[in-house]
Homo-oligomer: A and B are copies of this chain.
Amino acid sequence: MPRYTAPTKDMQFILHDLLKVSESTIPGYGELEADFTSAVLEEAGKLTSEVLAPLNVTGDKEGCRLENGVVYTPAGFKDAFAKVKEGGWTGLDMPEQYGGQNMPAVLGSAVGELFSGSNMAFTMYQGLTHGAASAILAHGTETQKDKWLPNMVSCEWTGTMNLTEPHCGTDLGLMRTKAEPQADGSYKITGQKIFISSGEHDMADNIVHLVLAKITDGPAGIKGVSLFIVPKVMVNEDGSLGVRNGATVGSIEEKMGIHGNSTCVMNYDNATGYLLGDEHKGMRAMFTMMNEARLGVGMQGLSQAEAAYQNALDYANDRLQGRAVTGIQNLEGPADPLIVHPDIRRSLMEQKSFVEGARAFILWGATMIDAAHRADDKDADGLVSLLTPVIKGFLTDLGYDMTVKAQQIYGGHGYIEEWGMSQFTRDARIAMIYEGANGVQALDLVGRKLAQDGGKHVMAFFDMVKTFIKDNAGQDEAYDKDFIEPLKAASKDLQAAGMYFMQNGMSNPNHALAGSNDFMHMFGHVCLGLMWARMGKVSSDTLAAGTDDATFYETKLATGRFYMARQLPATALHLTRIQSGSDTVMALDAANF
């Protein structure tokens, strides 16, 4: 069975060496001293390694089952969920007013990676609840917040998001679910929703569904969509649970992975719902949830890559096969371990440099969310909005690729379910699809975010890279060669791509959109390149100042050099593709494919 070990040391490095969170002026960051975050991460690491990880393979094997309208989660999930709730983990970054601990998102994200890495399917029950609670927090009335949030923060009640219908996913304007206004101000919701993660299960007393629907006689298309709170069980005035609402599970889907999470077809049949936010402004309210969810999904991509990498590394060290081409290394053994082989190392270094770079990227993104929410920093808000599709799309595409690489190291054993490596790829696969398929992320980035606020945020990003280069170049020849030059080249590629879009996208938007996927990927590489350049700098400075832990910082530098030399240059290929325009992409009539 695969192991999961919390990468707490790397997280501490990112939080304190790189981001220096406890020195930040963002409200709440003062508390994040190294001892404190270490204690939190160690505690979360223990719970996730010991309680959640062992349920990952068994949850995959057993899956969820539906019997007479009740969904049963896999054996052990209920007890584990109780432990997660007891530990107060579900409300870590939620307001104290509703029972949370009010920790910054940066710590919530680090802890979230541990949960997701140890058991992604399980963690989705609390993840969806967090997203639904955030939407109520942002758009609910005081009465609604008081009514729903305390039980959601504690996960006594869980939450869901209901967008997709059989005939519409991305294009929500085609939605058919109806909301009929009632005399008491509530609505009757009728329709079918599909792909509802955690839609029904046996781990909570109530489920709070957030449902997009069209109010009768409202505007057509996306402008007529509103968001509703639709509980599974009605809640009485005194907060006690009442009768069942008309929200029932139709079936559960058989999926490629995340078998431990119940993906439901939900039927709403005159179910009572309460408007959340303004009439016909459902998309705006839903986007609070979506943006948070997109960052969380990017983190899932990283988390599965990390978990798969840990096990691939163990296998590469344990499995004896062949001899090192430069001379026998394991003299007493019948063969050398796999890790002596250059192509195995190449794969392991790709994985290692990805997960460590991605972790820095995500936690850096979380500091921007904190700056936006806690310090009303509009620039941070704009930048993280620009980077959200990159975090979601790039990190899940690459995260999936990394799980495939990790699986490959096992040879035939990687294909056998017994070893658990197939599950990482099957679970990671969904992250490229849900919360907006990655093609939609690329479209959001190129079609919307680039030009947002007059292109201000992308300019700020380029300025940030330029300033970093200016501040750190010319001090150390080796650092310049290994980090500054590759970052400069990649950033130049990204700017050239942006320029190509500006010059050609006006006359024909296809010239921009045909390159959207490439642009998202090159943007992701530049972000990871910036992270590695920053981590390289900090490591190099620490070594120069003297440290007891030189091996750790030297390893960081070596891992960064690998990324800069081998992975970051992908930007040039993406640029070539983008600059080839859309003619070859759009040449064929649909009938001639």
Q: How many residues of A contact B (CB 8 A)?
A: 93
Residue contact A562 to B587, C-beta cutoff 8 Å:
yes
A408-B433 contact given A256-B415, A417-B256, A565-B584, CB 8 Å threshold: yes
Which B residues lie within 8 Å of A582 (CB)?
Answer: 342
Q: Does A438 contact B (CB under 8 A)?
A: yes
Closest-by-CB residue of B relative to A587 is B558
Which B residues lie within 8 Å of A317 (CB)?
Answer: 590
Q: Does A513 contact B (CB under 8 A)?
A: yes
Residue contact B433 to A170, C-beta cutoff 8 Å:
no
Residue contact B254 to A418, C-beta cutoff 8 Å:
yes
A345-B573 contact given A168-B321, A171-B335, A580-B566, CB 8 Å threshold: no
Of the candidates B343, B573, B577, B590, the one whose C-beta lies within 8 Å of that of A443 is: B343
Query: In the complex, how many angstroms separate the beta carbon of A308 from the nearest chain B beta carbon?
Result: 14
Residue contact A584 to B555, C-beta cutoff 8 Å:
no
A343-B513 contact given A313-B593, A584-B566, CB 8 Å threshold: yes
Docked complex Cα distance between A170 and B336 (Å)? 13
Q: Does A241 contact B (CB under 8 A)?
A: no
Q: Does A300 contact B (CB under 8 A)?
A: no
Q: Does A123 contact B (CB under 8 A)?
A: no
Residue contact A346 to B576, C-beta cutoff 8 Å:
no
Docked complex Cα distance between A174 and B255 (Å)? 39
A426-B584 contact given A341-B513, A513-B325, CB 8 Å threshold: no
A342-B566 contact given A174-B334, A572-B572, CB 8 Å threshold: no
Q: Does A347 contact B (CB under 8 A)?
A: yes
A439-B344 contact given A174-B335, A433-B411, CB 8 Å threshold: yes
Q: Does A337 contact B (CB under 8 A)?
A: yes
Residue contact B585 to A514, C-beta cutoff 8 Å:
no
In the complex this chain forms, how many copies of it are found? 2
* A564-593 to B contact mask, C-beta < 8 Å, 1/0: 011001101100110010101111101011
Q: Does A49 contact B (CB under 8 A)?
A: no
Which B residues lie within 8 Å of A438 (CB)?
Answer: 408
**Chain A stretch 134-157: residues in CB contact (< 8 A) with chain B:** none
Residue contact A170 to B349, C-beta cutoff 8 Å:
no
Which B residues lie within 8 Å of A169 (CB)?
Answer: 321, 411-412
**Chain A stretch 153-187: residues in CB contact (< 8 A) with chain B:** 164, 167-171, 173-174
Q: Does A464 contact B (CB under 8 A)?
A: no
Q: Does A517 contact B (CB under 8 A)?
A: yes
Q: Does A42 contact B (CB under 8 A)?
A: no
Q: Does A106 contact B (CB under 8 A)?
A: no
A558-B174 contact given A418-B254, A513-B341, A593-B348, CB 8 Å threshold: no
Given contacts A174-B321, A559-B588, 18 further A-B contacts (CB under 8 A): A170-B411, A174-B335, A253-B418, A255-B416, A256-B416, A325-B510, A326-B509, A342-B513, A342-B516, A342-B582, A343-B439, A344-B439, A346-B585, A408-B437, A555-B588, A562-B585, A562-B587, A565-B577
**Which residues of A are at the interface with B, using a C-beta cutoff of 8 A?**
164, 167-171, 173-174, 194-195, 253-257, 313, 317, 320-322, 325-326, 334-335, 337, 339-349, 352, 400, 404, 407-408, 411-412, 414-418, 422, 425-426, 429-430, 432-434, 437-439, 442-443, 447, 508-510, 513-514, 516-517, 551, 555, 558-559, 561-562, 565-566, 569-570, 572-573, 576-577, 580, 582, 584-588, 590, 592-593
